[in-house]
Amino acid sequence: MNEARTVLLYAVGGIVGILLGLATAQVTTSCSGACPAAPQAFATWQSGLIGLGCAVIVLIACAVLDEEFIPVTRQWLGAALRRLSGQPHKRQAG
């Protein structure tokens, strides 16, 4: 299994989410008249949700396009659950 590619795909998903969240945080509404500063179009929590949604969409696309993405993720989640529950590590054959 290609774990390096899966890590790269997770990193890309995270970076895309962060960048789009920051981009939506910079969007302001137009202000006619005398405005000291243009008000933001999205609240901080809305920008965060937009960024999270974009990251999730990228990760779903990765799962659809890369056949090793889901098995590697499942393996990582299983290892994390075993660590949390205190079960010993199971060795894989071959």
Quick: pLDDT tens for 40-87.
Answer: 777 778 888 888 888 888 888 888 888 888 888 888 888 888 888 887
0.75 exceeded by pTM: no
Place of tokens 């949390």: 84
- Neighbouring residues of 17: CB distance < 8 A, sequence distance ≥ 6: 51, 52, 53, 54, 55, 56, 58
Place of tokens 């500063």: 37
pLDDT digits (tens, 9 = 90+) for 14-40: 898 888 888 888 876 666 666 676 677
Q: Which amino acid is at 68?
A: E
